[in-house]
Amino acid sequence: MLTHPLVRRATERARGFHERVRQEVGRRQELRRFRTTGRALAARRGEADHLAALEAEAERSRQADRADWTEVALWMLPVVALRGLATRAVLRHRIGRGHHDLRERYEALGRGELLDAGLPDHGPGFPGPPHLAHSKAQVEAARFGRAFWTQLRPAILPKAPALAGLAVGWWIANSYTDSRWKSHARSLGIGSGGTTVVSGETYRAMHFWLPLLAAALCAYLGDRLATAWRQSSEQ
């Protein structure tokens, strides 16, 4: 059966594209298998102990939340929840970055384990956990950062909670209203304010609690950041 040259070339290109996709999918699956095996092996060899310590800290944060949940007053429960969420968000970010930095190490370990090629030692590409390998440039950069933060903190942090509260108050005023007439007018582009209608009690509670919680969260994060900087400068 004769086939038009254009159809034949299109068919060949489609087959070539399908083959490249198949090879790429296979390569990614192989890398994923290497990294999964290497990650487990690195944990057994103690090469990810600094990440295990962060995971243990996250678990302690959850336990602290559960303990405080039954001890504090009702109006403090949102503060406890925000504290735990903020703490664990930072820890999850650090854990994720740590695993990302170790991807090549995981791949090398997994490749050596699954292909019986021998496990690589700690070479130039993997000097060990991040907290054990600081160059002189990194140390000096950390010192400069601490000095810069010392000068910046008094000018920024005292104002940040108030600014956060004002920002949340502005968002509420421009997103919600307790008047259906104002909502309809705003939907038509008349006047200012929000378009989402809530009850008067809910609207007043949002104006009181949400800016307060935003300011408290901002103050808490600023205090944690300042404490971390002080601890790092004392080491």
Same domain, 60 and 115: no
- Whether residue 144 contacts residue 157, with contact meaning beta carbons closer than 8 Å, is answered with no
In a domain, 10, yes or no: yes
> What DSSP assignment string belongs to 114-144?
HTTS----S-TT--SSGGG---HHHHHHHHH
Alpha-helical (H) ranges within 2-135 are 5-44, 49-69, 77-101, 103-114
Residue 112: what are its φ and ψ, rounded to 5°? -65, -35
What's the total number of domains in the chain?
3
Q: How far is CA 197 from the centre of its chain?
A: 33
In a domain, 124, yes or no: no
- Whether residue 88 contacts residue 58, with contact meaning beta carbons closer than 8 Å, is answered with yes
**Distances from the Cα of 123 to the Cα of 99, 108, 205, angstroms:** 18, 11, 59
Is this structure's pTM higher than 0.85?
no
In a domain, 127, yes or no: no
> Given its phi and psi angles, is residue 199 left (phi above 0), alpha (psi -120 to 50 degrees) or beta?
beta
Same domain, 161 and 230: yes
- Whether residue 77 contacts residue 103, with contact meaning beta carbons closer than 8 Å, is answered with no
> Given its phi and psi angles, is residue 119 left (phi above 0), alpha (psi -120 to 50 degrees) or beta?
beta
Q: How far is CA 171 from the centre of its chain?
A: 24
In a domain, 126, yes or no: no
Same domain, 141 and 186: yes
Same domain, 84 and 183: no
Same domain, 24 and 90: no
Among 119, 97, 93, 127, CA closest to 38: 119
Three-state secondary-structure class, residue 110: helix
Question: Of 89, 119, 149, at which residue does a domain stop?
Answer: 119
pLDDT in tens, 78-99: 888 888 888 888 899 999 899 9
Same domain, 17 and 112: yes
Return the H-helix or E-strand segment holding 200: helix 200-234
pLDDT in tens, 104-121: 888 888 888 888 767 666
In a domain, 128, yes or no: no
Measured CA to CA, the distance from residue 175 to residue 168 in angstroms comes to: 10
Measured CA to CA, the distance from residue 160 to residue 177 in angstroms comes to: 26
Instruction: Please report the pLDDT score of residue 27 as a whole number.
Output: 85
Measured CA to CA, the distance from residue 60 to residue 96 in angstroms comes to: 18
- Whether residue 225 contacts residue 145, with contact meaning beta carbons closer than 8 Å, is answered with no
Q: What is the mean pLDDT of residues 135-152?
A: 59
In a domain, 195, yes or no: yes
In a domain, 129, yes or no: no
Same domain, 57 and 31: no
Instruction: Please report the pLDDT score of residue 134 as a whole number.
Output: 45
- Whether residue 110 contacts residue 33, with contact meaning beta carbons closer than 8 Å, is answered with yes
As a whole-number percent, the residues of the chain with pLDDT over 70 amount to 71
In a domain, 219, yes or no: yes
Q: Counting Cβ atoms within 10 Å, is residue 12 exposed (0-12), middle (13-18) or buried (19+)?
A: exposed
Same domain, 218 and 176: yes
Q: Which domain holds residue 1?
A: 1-45+102-119
Q: How confident is the model at residue 48 (pLDDT cuts 50, 70, 90)?
A: confident
Same domain, 23 and 54: no
Same domain, 33 and 58: no
Same domain, 210 and 149: yes
Same domain, 165 and 232: yes
